[in-house]
Protein backbone atom coordinates (compact mmCIF):
# COMPACT_ATOMS: atom_id res chain seq x y z
CA UNK A 1 0.00 0.00 0.00
CA UNK A 2 1.04 3.59 -0.67
CA UNK A 3 -0.08 6.84 0.96
CA UNK A 4 -2.07 7.71 -2.15
CA UNK A 5 -4.27 4.67 -1.43
CA UNK A 6 -5.40 6.19 1.89
CA UNK A 7 -7.51 8.93 0.25
CA UNK A 8 -5.20 11.74 1.32
CA UNK A 9 -5.61 15.19 -0.19
CA UNK A 10 -3.08 16.55 -2.69
CA UNK A 11 -1.33 19.05 -0.33
CA UNK A 12 -0.51 16.29 2.14
CA UNK A 13 0.54 13.83 -0.56
CA UNK A 14 2.80 16.52 -2.03
CA UNK A 15 4.32 17.18 1.41
CA UNK A 16 4.97 13.47 1.92
CA UNK A 17 6.46 13.15 -1.54
CA UNK A 18 8.75 16.11 -0.88
CA UNK A 19 10.41 14.25 1.99
CA UNK A 20 10.46 10.91 0.16
CA UNK A 21 7.68 9.14 2.07
CA UNK A 22 5.80 6.69 -0.15
CA UNK A 23 4.64 3.71 1.91
CA UNK A 24 2.80 3.97 5.23
CA UNK A 25 4.00 1.95 8.20
CA UNK A 26 1.60 -0.64 9.65
CA UNK A 27 0.30 1.69 12.36
CA UNK A 28 -0.25 4.46 9.81
CA UNK A 29 -2.04 2.10 7.46
CA UNK A 30 -4.37 0.99 10.25
CA UNK A 31 -4.86 4.26 12.16
CA UNK A 32 -5.47 6.77 9.37
CA UNK A 33 -8.78 5.24 8.11
CA UNK A 34 -10.01 4.84 11.71
CA UNK A 35 -9.34 8.51 12.47
CA UNK A 36 -11.13 9.51 9.27
CA UNK A 37 -14.11 7.51 10.58
CA UNK A 38 -14.13 9.71 13.72
CA UNK A 39 -13.42 6.80 16.06
CA UNK A 40 -11.26 6.85 19.17
CA UNK A 41 -8.02 4.87 19.10
CA UNK A 42 -6.06 2.93 21.68
CA UNK A 43 -2.72 2.45 19.94
CA UNK A 44 0.03 0.23 21.30
CA UNK A 45 3.24 0.45 19.29
CA UNK A 46 6.94 0.69 19.95
CA UNK A 47 8.91 3.83 19.27
CA UNK A 48 10.02 4.17 15.67
CA UNK A 49 6.83 2.76 14.16
CA UNK A 50 5.54 6.07 12.81
CA UNK A 51 2.96 7.00 15.43
CA UNK A 52 3.28 10.75 14.90
CA UNK A 53 2.35 10.59 11.23
CA UNK A 54 -0.40 8.10 12.07
CA UNK A 55 -2.32 10.81 13.92
CA UNK A 56 -0.90 14.02 12.41
CA UNK A 57 -1.75 13.28 8.78
CA UNK A 58 -5.48 12.50 9.21
CA UNK A 59 -5.99 15.28 11.76
CA UNK A 60 -4.45 17.84 9.41
CA UNK A 61 -6.61 16.62 6.56
CA UNK A 62 -9.80 16.94 8.61
CA UNK A 63 -8.79 20.40 9.84
CA UNK A 64 -8.23 21.46 6.24
CA UNK A 65 -11.90 20.86 5.44
CA UNK A 66 -12.88 23.73 7.76
CA UNK A 67 -12.99 27.28 6.37
CA UNK A 68 -12.63 28.90 9.82
CA UNK A 69 -9.61 31.19 10.14
CA UNK A 70 -7.18 30.38 12.97
CA UNK A 71 -7.28 33.95 14.24
CA UNK A 72 -11.08 33.75 14.68
CA UNK A 73 -11.14 30.60 16.77
CA UNK A 74 -9.45 28.74 19.56
CA UNK A 75 -7.37 25.58 19.77
CA UNK A 76 -8.89 22.65 17.88
CA UNK A 77 -6.22 20.00 18.46
CA UNK A 78 -4.20 19.26 21.60
CA UNK A 79 -1.30 16.83 21.50
CA UNK A 80 0.13 16.10 24.95
CA UNK A 81 3.53 14.51 25.24
CA UNK A 82 5.91 13.99 28.19
CA UNK A 83 9.14 15.63 27.02
CA UNK A 84 10.39 18.79 25.39
CA UNK A 85 12.40 16.91 22.77
CA UNK A 86 9.42 14.84 21.73
CA UNK A 87 7.14 17.89 21.65
CA UNK A 88 9.58 19.67 19.34
CA UNK A 89 9.81 16.65 17.07
CA UNK A 90 6.02 16.35 16.82
CA UNK A 91 5.71 20.03 15.91
CA UNK A 92 8.35 19.58 13.20
CA UNK A 93 6.35 16.70 11.75
CA UNK A 94 3.09 18.69 11.83
CA UNK A 95 4.86 21.55 10.07
CA UNK A 96 6.25 19.17 7.44
CA UNK A 97 2.89 17.64 6.59
CA UNK A 98 1.01 20.99 6.78
CA UNK A 99 3.45 23.05 4.72
CA UNK A 100 0.83 23.62 1.98
CA UNK A 101 -2.14 23.98 4.33
CA UNK A 102 -3.45 27.13 6.08
CA UNK A 103 -3.05 25.53 9.51
CA UNK A 104 -1.07 27.00 12.39
CA UNK A 105 0.83 24.77 14.80
CA UNK A 106 2.52 25.72 18.06
CA UNK A 107 4.66 23.84 20.56
CA UNK A 108 4.90 24.91 24.21
CA UNK A 109 7.14 23.47 26.93
CA UNK A 110 8.96 24.58 30.05
CA UNK A 111 12.56 25.57 30.45
CA UNK A 112 12.26 28.57 28.12
CA UNK A 113 10.63 31.97 28.35
CA UNK A 114 6.84 32.13 28.19
CA UNK A 115 6.41 35.37 26.26
CA UNK A 116 6.89 34.04 22.69
CA UNK A 117 4.47 31.23 23.48
CA UNK A 118 1.91 33.66 24.90
CA UNK A 119 2.21 35.90 21.83
CA UNK A 120 1.62 32.96 19.47
CA UNK A 121 -1.40 31.84 21.48
CA UNK A 122 -2.87 35.33 21.27
CA UNK A 123 -2.52 35.29 17.47
CA UNK A 124 -4.56 32.08 17.24
CA UNK A 125 -3.53 28.53 16.44
CA UNK A 126 -5.14 25.30 15.28
CA UNK A 127 -2.81 22.68 16.75
CA UNK A 128 -1.14 22.89 20.16
CA UNK A 129 1.61 20.44 21.07
CA UNK A 130 2.44 20.68 24.76
CA UNK A 131 4.13 19.17 27.77
CA UNK A 132 1.85 18.96 30.83
CA UNK A 133 3.52 21.50 33.11
CA UNK A 134 3.69 24.44 30.71
CA UNK A 135 0.22 23.68 29.37
CA UNK A 136 -1.38 23.88 32.81
CA UNK A 137 0.70 26.94 33.67
CA UNK A 138 -0.46 28.93 30.63
CA UNK A 139 -4.01 27.64 31.01
CA UNK A 140 -4.03 28.90 34.57
CA UNK A 141 -2.90 32.32 33.36
CA UNK A 142 -5.74 32.43 30.82
CA UNK A 143 -3.64 32.03 27.67
CA UNK A 144 -4.88 28.55 26.78
CA UNK A 145 -8.55 27.80 26.23
CA UNK A 146 -9.58 24.26 25.36
CA UNK A 147 -13.34 24.90 25.18
CA UNK A 148 -13.53 24.27 21.41
CA UNK A 149 -11.17 21.32 21.28
CA UNK A 150 -12.09 18.68 18.70
CA UNK A 151 -9.14 16.29 18.83
CA UNK A 152 -7.15 15.19 21.87
CA UNK A 153 -3.98 13.11 21.39
CA UNK A 154 -2.20 11.61 24.38
CA UNK A 155 1.17 10.43 23.13
CA UNK A 156 3.62 8.19 25.03
CA UNK A 157 1.06 7.63 27.77
CA UNK A 158 3.17 5.08 29.62
CA UNK A 159 6.05 7.54 29.79
CA UNK A 160 3.64 10.08 31.28
CA UNK A 161 2.98 7.52 33.99
CA UNK A 162 6.69 6.80 34.54
CA UNK A 163 7.45 10.50 34.95
CA UNK A 164 4.63 11.19 37.37
CA UNK A 165 2.51 13.23 34.93
CA UNK A 166 -0.59 11.08 35.16
CA UNK A 167 -2.29 13.48 37.60
CA UNK A 168 -1.58 16.42 35.28
CA UNK A 169 -3.13 14.44 32.43
CA UNK A 170 -6.26 13.90 34.49
CA UNK A 171 -6.42 17.65 35.25
CA UNK A 172 -6.23 18.46 31.54
CA UNK A 173 -8.96 15.95 30.70
CA UNK A 174 -11.31 17.85 33.01
CA UNK A 175 -10.67 21.00 30.95
CA UNK A 176 -11.55 19.61 27.53
CA UNK A 177 -15.01 18.98 26.01
CA UNK A 178 -16.53 15.55 26.58
CA UNK A 179 -17.53 15.48 22.91
CA UNK A 180 -14.20 15.02 21.14
CA UNK A 181 -12.14 12.45 19.29
CA UNK A 182 -9.43 10.98 21.53
CA UNK A 183 -6.33 9.12 20.37
CA UNK A 184 -4.16 7.46 23.01
CA UNK A 185 -0.80 5.99 22.01
CA UNK A 186 1.56 4.08 24.25
CA UNK A 187 4.56 1.81 23.72
CA UNK A 188 3.44 -0.42 26.59
CA UNK A 189 0.10 -0.89 28.30
CA UNK A 190 0.49 -1.11 32.10
CA UNK A 191 -2.64 -1.49 34.18
CA UNK A 192 -2.91 2.19 35.13
CA UNK A 193 -2.74 3.30 31.48
CA UNK A 194 -5.40 0.75 30.56
CA UNK A 195 -7.56 2.13 33.37
CA UNK A 196 -7.02 5.69 32.08
CA UNK A 197 -7.89 4.58 28.57
CA UNK A 198 -11.14 3.05 29.81
CA UNK A 199 -12.16 6.40 31.32
CA UNK A 200 -11.25 8.76 28.44
CA UNK A 201 -11.89 6.68 25.30
CA UNK A 202 -15.28 6.02 23.79
CA UNK A 203 -15.53 2.51 22.32
CA UNK A 204 -12.00 2.75 20.90
CA UNK A 205 -10.48 0.76 18.09
CA UNK A 206 -7.41 -1.01 19.45
CA UNK A 207 -4.37 -1.00 17.19
CA UNK A 208 -1.35 -3.05 18.21
CA UNK A 209 1.41 -3.39 15.66
CA UNK A 210 4.04 -5.15 17.81
CA UNK A 211 3.78 -7.24 20.95
CA UNK A 212 4.16 -5.31 24.21
CA UNK A 213 7.74 -4.95 25.47
CA UNK A 214 9.37 -6.76 22.55
CA UNK A 215 12.40 -5.46 20.67
CA UNK A 216 13.01 -4.93 16.98
CA UNK A 217 14.26 -8.01 15.17
CA UNK A 218 16.77 -6.00 13.16
CA UNK A 219 18.58 -4.80 16.30
CA UNK A 220 21.69 -6.84 17.05
CA UNK A 221 21.71 -6.94 20.86
CA UNK A 222 24.68 -7.94 23.01
CA UNK A 223 25.91 -7.56 26.57
CA UNK A 224 29.38 -7.20 28.10
CA UNK A 225 29.99 -8.24 31.71
CA UNK A 226 32.35 -5.63 33.10
CA UNK A 227 33.13 -4.18 36.52
CA UNK A 228 31.79 -0.72 37.25
CA UNK A 229 35.32 0.69 37.44
CA UNK A 230 36.18 -0.62 33.98
CA UNK A 231 33.11 0.60 32.11
CA UNK A 232 34.82 3.82 31.01
CA UNK A 233 37.80 1.91 29.60
CA UNK A 234 35.56 -0.57 27.81
CA UNK A 235 33.55 2.23 26.22
CA UNK A 236 36.70 3.97 24.98
CA UNK A 237 38.05 0.62 23.71
CA UNK A 238 34.89 -0.03 21.69
CA UNK A 239 34.85 3.48 20.24
CA UNK A 240 38.52 3.33 19.30
CA UNK A 241 38.70 -0.27 18.05
CA UNK A 242 35.17 -1.08 16.96
CA UNK A 243 33.18 -0.03 13.93
CA UNK A 244 31.19 2.61 15.83
CA UNK A 245 31.39 5.94 14.01
CA UNK A 246 28.41 7.46 15.83
CA UNK A 247 26.78 6.35 19.08
CA UNK A 248 24.06 7.28 21.53
CA UNK A 249 25.22 6.29 25.02
CA UNK A 250 22.79 5.97 27.93
CA UNK A 251 23.69 6.77 31.53
CA UNK A 252 21.34 6.18 34.46
CA UNK A 253 22.15 9.52 36.11
CA UNK A 254 22.69 13.13 35.05
CA UNK A 255 26.02 13.36 36.85
CA UNK A 256 27.12 10.14 35.18
CA UNK A 257 26.24 11.48 31.73
CA UNK A 258 28.39 14.58 32.30
CA UNK A 259 31.27 12.49 33.63
CA UNK A 260 31.20 10.07 30.67
CA UNK A 261 31.18 12.91 28.14
CA UNK A 262 34.09 14.58 29.94
CA UNK A 263 36.17 11.38 29.92
CA UNK A 264 35.51 10.80 26.22
CA UNK A 265 36.53 14.34 25.31
CA UNK A 266 39.78 13.85 27.24
CA UNK A 267 40.53 10.94 24.89
CA UNK A 268 39.82 13.04 21.81
CA UNK A 269 36.37 11.53 21.22
CA UNK A 270 34.01 14.47 20.69
CA UNK A 271 31.04 13.97 22.99
CA UNK A 272 28.28 15.94 24.65
CA UNK A 273 25.70 15.19 27.32
CA UNK A 274 21.96 15.80 27.36
CA UNK A 275 19.77 15.56 30.47
CA UNK A 276 17.20 17.40 32.55
CA UNK A 277 19.64 19.74 34.27
CA UNK A 278 20.76 21.21 30.95
CA UNK A 279 19.02 24.31 29.66
CA UNK A 280 16.72 23.84 26.71
CA UNK A 281 19.16 25.75 24.51
CA UNK A 282 22.06 23.53 25.56
CA UNK A 283 20.02 20.39 24.96
CA UNK A 284 18.97 21.50 21.49
CA UNK A 285 22.55 22.48 20.58
CA UNK A 286 23.89 19.13 21.76
CA UNK A 287 21.24 17.26 19.80
CA UNK A 288 21.82 19.37 16.68
CA UNK A 289 25.59 18.78 16.83
CA UNK A 290 25.01 15.04 17.15
CA UNK A 291 22.58 14.96 14.24
CA UNK A 292 25.00 16.98 12.10
CA UNK A 293 27.87 14.63 13.06
CA UNK A 294 29.78 17.47 14.70
CA UNK A 295 29.96 15.29 17.80
CA UNK A 296 30.55 11.56 17.65
CA UNK A 297 28.87 10.56 20.90
CA UNK A 298 25.78 11.86 22.67
CA UNK A 299 25.52 10.73 26.29
CA UNK A 300 21.96 10.85 27.56
CA UNK A 301 19.75 9.94 30.47
CA UNK A 302 16.34 8.46 29.72
CA UNK A 303 15.15 11.94 28.81
CA UNK A 304 16.28 10.98 25.30
CA UNK A 305 14.74 7.53 25.06
CA UNK A 306 11.60 8.80 23.32
CA UNK A 307 12.57 12.24 22.16
CA UNK A 308 15.57 11.97 19.87
CA UNK A 309 15.02 11.89 16.11
CA UNK A 310 18.28 10.89 14.41
CA UNK A 311 18.55 9.68 10.85
CA UNK A 312 19.97 6.17 10.55
CA UNK A 313 21.46 5.93 14.04
CA UNK A 314 23.27 2.58 13.98
CA UNK A 315 24.60 2.25 17.53
CA UNK A 316 23.14 2.52 21.01
CA UNK A 317 25.27 1.73 24.06
CA UNK A 318 23.75 1.17 27.49
CA UNK A 319 26.63 2.29 29.71
CA UNK A 320 24.29 1.70 32.65
CA UNK A 321 21.44 -0.77 32.43
CA UNK A 322 18.09 0.84 33.25
CA UNK A 323 16.33 -0.23 36.43
CA UNK A 324 12.99 -0.16 34.58
CA UNK A 325 12.82 -2.93 31.93
CA UNK A 326 10.58 -0.96 29.58
CA UNK A 327 13.23 1.76 29.40
CA UNK A 328 15.57 -0.73 27.76
CA UNK A 329 13.07 -1.22 24.94
CA UNK A 330 12.73 2.52 24.44
CA UNK A 331 16.47 3.11 24.56
CA UNK A 332 17.44 0.53 21.96
CA UNK A 333 14.46 1.64 19.89
CA UNK A 334 16.57 4.65 18.89
CA UNK A 335 18.33 2.32 16.42
CA UNK A 336 17.08 -0.27 13.94
CA UNK A 337 14.33 2.10 12.80
CA UNK A 338 12.36 2.20 9.56
CA UNK A 339 13.87 -1.00 8.24
CA UNK A 340 17.51 -0.19 9.04
CA UNK A 341 19.81 -2.53 10.93
CA UNK A 342 21.07 -1.41 14.32
CA UNK A 343 23.29 -2.46 17.18
CA UNK A 344 22.51 -2.21 20.89
CA UNK A 345 25.40 -2.93 23.26
CA UNK A 346 24.88 -3.10 27.02
CA UNK A 347 27.36 -3.08 29.89
CA UNK A 348 26.41 -5.08 32.98
CA UNK A 349 28.38 -4.62 36.19
CA UNK A 350 28.33 -6.43 39.53
CA UNK A 351 25.24 -4.57 40.77
CA UNK A 352 23.18 -4.82 37.57
CA UNK A 353 22.59 -8.57 37.19
CA UNK A 354 19.04 -8.28 38.48
CA UNK A 355 18.31 -5.45 36.04
CA UNK A 356 19.52 -7.68 33.20
CA UNK A 357 17.33 -10.53 34.38
CA UNK A 358 14.27 -8.29 34.52
CA UNK A 359 15.00 -6.93 31.05
CA UNK A 360 15.30 -10.41 29.57
CA UNK A 361 12.08 -11.46 31.27
CA UNK A 362 10.34 -8.39 29.82
CA UNK A 363 11.59 -8.82 26.25
CA UNK A 364 11.19 -12.60 26.45
CA UNK A 365 14.64 -13.42 25.12
CA UNK A 366 18.22 -13.92 26.20
CA UNK A 367 20.75 -11.30 25.18
CA UNK A 368 23.96 -12.76 23.70
CA UNK A 369 27.10 -12.25 25.81
CA UNK A 370 30.27 -10.98 24.15
CA UNK A 371 33.07 -13.33 25.22
CA UNK A 372 35.88 -11.31 23.66
CA UNK A 373 35.92 -8.71 26.40
CA UNK A 374 39.26 -7.22 27.49
CA UNK A 375 37.67 -5.95 30.71
CA UNK A 376 35.60 -9.02 31.64
CA UNK A 377 34.59 -9.45 35.27
CA UNK A 378 36.84 -11.68 37.36
CA UNK A 379 35.23 -15.00 38.28
CA UNK A 380 32.32 -14.13 36.01
CA UNK A 381 31.40 -17.78 35.46
CA UNK A 382 30.94 -18.35 39.18
CA UNK A 383 28.70 -15.29 39.46
CA UNK A 384 26.60 -16.26 36.44
CA UNK A 385 26.16 -19.85 37.64
CA UNK A 386 25.03 -18.56 41.04
CA UNK A 387 22.15 -16.52 39.63
CA UNK A 388 20.66 -19.09 37.26
CA UNK A 389 17.33 -20.67 38.17
CA UNK A 390 17.75 -24.42 38.71
CA UNK A 391 15.54 -26.55 36.48
CA UNK A 392 14.42 -23.71 34.19
CA UNK A 393 16.46 -24.83 31.21
CA UNK A 394 17.91 -22.57 28.54
CA UNK A 395 15.59 -21.39 25.83
CA UNK A 396 16.98 -19.86 22.72
CA UNK A 397 16.48 -16.12 22.21
CA UNK A 398 13.87 -16.26 19.46
CA UNK A 399 14.95 -14.36 16.39
CA UNK A 400 17.58 -12.24 18.05
CA UNK A 401 20.82 -12.44 16.08
CA UNK A 402 23.83 -14.06 17.71
CA UNK A 403 26.68 -13.14 15.47
CA UNK A 404 30.04 -14.83 15.70
CA UNK A 405 31.46 -17.49 17.98
CA UNK A 406 32.56 -14.98 20.58
CA UNK A 407 29.08 -14.73 22.14
CA UNK A 408 26.83 -16.89 24.23
CA UNK A 409 23.49 -16.23 25.84
CA UNK A 410 23.24 -14.09 28.93
CA UNK A 411 21.75 -15.75 32.03
CA UNK A 412 18.07 -16.51 32.02
CA UNK A 413 15.84 -14.25 34.15
CA UNK A 414 16.15 -15.39 37.72
CA UNK A 415 14.57 -14.85 41.12
CA UNK A 416 17.88 -14.33 42.85
CA UNK A 417 17.73 -11.11 44.81
CA UNK A 418 20.54 -11.61 47.30
CA UNK A 419 22.88 -8.74 46.53
CA UNK A 420 20.78 -6.62 44.22
CA UNK A 421 17.48 -6.74 46.07
CA UNK A 422 18.04 -3.86 48.44
CA UNK A 423 19.52 -1.74 45.68
CA UNK A 424 16.59 -2.47 43.36
CA UNK A 425 14.12 -1.43 46.03
CA UNK A 426 15.97 1.82 46.58
CA UNK A 427 16.38 2.51 42.87
CA UNK A 428 12.75 1.75 42.10
CA UNK A 429 11.48 4.17 44.72
CA UNK A 430 13.58 6.96 43.30
CA UNK A 431 13.40 6.12 39.61
CA UNK A 432 11.80 9.42 38.66
CA UNK A 433 14.58 11.37 40.35
CA UNK A 434 17.43 9.24 39.06
CA UNK A 435 16.36 9.36 35.44
CA UNK A 436 14.88 11.93 33.13
CA UNK A 437 12.59 11.63 30.22
CA UNK A 438 12.79 11.45 26.56
CA UNK A 439 11.94 9.21 19.00
CA UNK A 440 13.75 8.25 16.15
CA UNK A 441 14.65 8.34 12.56
CA UNK A 442 12.94 7.65 9.33
CA UNK A 443 14.01 6.14 6.07
CA UNK A 444 13.39 7.75 2.74
CA UNK A 445 10.26 5.63 2.40
CA UNK A 446 8.47 5.71 5.71
CA UNK A 447 6.92 8.66 7.52
CA UNK A 448 7.26 8.98 11.27
> Cβ(118)–Cβ(160) under 8 Å?
no
Q: How many other C-beta atoms are found inside a 10 Å radius of the C-beta of residue 417?
A: 14
Q: Does domain 219-434 have CATH number 3.40.50.720?
A: no
The Cα 180–Cα 185 span in angstroms is: 16
The Cα 164–Cα 169 span in angstroms is: 10
Strand positions, DSSP E, 70-158: 77-80, 105-108, 127-130, 151-154
Query: In the CATH scheme, what is the code of domain 3-208?
Result: 3.40.50.300
The Cα 438–Cα 162 span in angstroms is: 11
Same CATH topology for 3-208 and 219-434?
yes
Domain ranges of the chain: 3-208, 219-434
Cα 340 to Cα 59, 140, 348, 434, 442, distances in angstroms? 28, 44, 26, 31, 9
The 8-class DSSP code of residue 447 comes to: -
The Cα 244–Cα 190 span in angstroms is: 35
Pairing between strand 315-318 and 342-348?
Answer: parallel
Question: 266 — phi, psi (to 5°)?
Answer: -60, -30
Q: Which residues contact 90 (CB under 8 A, 6 or more apart)?
A: 52, 56, 79, 81, 107, 129, 155
pTM to 2 decimals? 0.63
Q: Along the 448 residues of the chain, how does pLDDT read in single tens digits?
A: 899 999 999 999 999 999 888 899 899 999 999 999 999 999 987 766 788 999 999 999 999 987 555 445 689 999 999 888 889 889 999 999 999 999 999 999 988 889 999 999 999 999 999 999 999 999 999 999 999 999 999 998 888 887 788 899 999 999 999 999 999 998 878 888 999 999 999 999 999 886 444 555 678 999 999 999 999 999 999 999 878 999 999 999 999 999 999 999 999 999 999 887 887 788 888 888 998 889 999 999 886 555 566 767 889 999 999 988 878 887 887 786 655 678 999 999 988 988 998 898 888 888 999 988 888 876 455 455 545 544 444 433 333 333 333 445 555 544 433 344 434 444 443 444 433 333 333 334 456 5
Amino acid sequence: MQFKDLKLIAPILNALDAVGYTNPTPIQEQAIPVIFDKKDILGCAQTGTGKTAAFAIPILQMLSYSKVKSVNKRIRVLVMTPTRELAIQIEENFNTYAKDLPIKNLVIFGGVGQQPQKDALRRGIDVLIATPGRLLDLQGQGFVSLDELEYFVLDEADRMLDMGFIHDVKRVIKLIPSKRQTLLFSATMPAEIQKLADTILNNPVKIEVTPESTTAEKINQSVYFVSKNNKKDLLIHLLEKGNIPHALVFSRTKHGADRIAKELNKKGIVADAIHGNKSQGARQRALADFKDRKSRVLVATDIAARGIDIDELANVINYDLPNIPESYVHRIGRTGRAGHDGSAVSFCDEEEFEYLQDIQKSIRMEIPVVEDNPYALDARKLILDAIRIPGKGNKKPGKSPNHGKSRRSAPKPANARSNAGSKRSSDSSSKRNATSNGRGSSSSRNAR
